[in-house]
Amino acid sequence: MKKTFSDCPSRSVHSRDKQKISIPSSELSDIKNNFDICLSEIKERFSLVDLLSSTGSDAAEIKASKDILRYQTVSIDSLLDYYIHQIAVYGLKKMFNEEWAKTNPYKKINIELSTVEIAIQNPENTDWIESVIAQWSGKDTFMSAEKIVFVIKALGLDVKEIANIDGSDDIAEVKIKIDALYNRRTSIVHYADLDNNRLKKDIKKEEVEQYIALVESLCNKVFDLVQKKDSSD
């Protein structure tokens, strides 16, 4: 049997009042700084790509440069996933601490009855909510446009704000680009990135630069939206 956050039992009139329970939350700046550091490390690989693909490079060096580009593609999408996970946890903790308005997706998070029992028996211990949030945010990968948009909405952020991250002002176009990166990443990871001749599909530096620019713009926009929400709620 499962319950939701909104099903928590009311306190008995005979019980003594307890102080408000809150859980520690990561600093938003730490989340962003970690993202920026990892992003820089991924970008630094371009110098090696340029070296290996310069004039006079042999076939083995060209192949190595392409493999680095594939590595960057996988890495930037993994970084996006990790960043969105961290932002999701940050926002859920803000809602639990009543620092942000609670959204319907937050209120509908399922909680196992055994977890409710732990919460009732140990009201001052917040490990249970940490576990619930970890389970909620860890059950999916946040790489597809659908999952990312779900998190943005679940945190009460304006999803329309990400429409202009690439200058197109079209949310549908942004979703297509996010999914294009996700699909390319998935095919590389599963060794399915092949053409009709069963050879590895070509990959160009410009293509990977676009992937990285997309993720950087998206994550910067999400950071701005969260920062704005911290100031307004």
Mind listing the pLDDT tens digit for each residue in 117-162?
A: 988 888 777 888 888 888 888 778 999 999 999 999 999 999 999 9
29-38, 173-182, 185-194, range with the lowest pLDDT: 185-194
Question: Residue 219: is it exposed, middle or buried by C-beta count within 10 angstroms (0-12/13-18/19+)?
Answer: buried
Q: What is the mean pLDDT of residues 217-229?
A: 97
Quote the pLDDT of residue 191: 84
As a whole number, the mean pLDDT across the chain is 88
Cα→Cα distances 209→46, 63, 187, Å: 9, 18, 18
Predicted confidence (pLDDT) at residue 179 exceeds the cutoff of 90: yes
Q: What is the mean pLDDT of residues 80-95?
A: 95
Beta bridge partners of 2: 112
Please, which residues have CB within 8 angstroms of residue 20's CB and are 6 or more apart in sequence?
Answer: 98
- How many CA atoms does the CB half-sphere of 202 hold within 13 Å? 4
* Tokens found for residue 98: 């009543």
pLDDT in tens, 27-40: 999 999 999 999 99
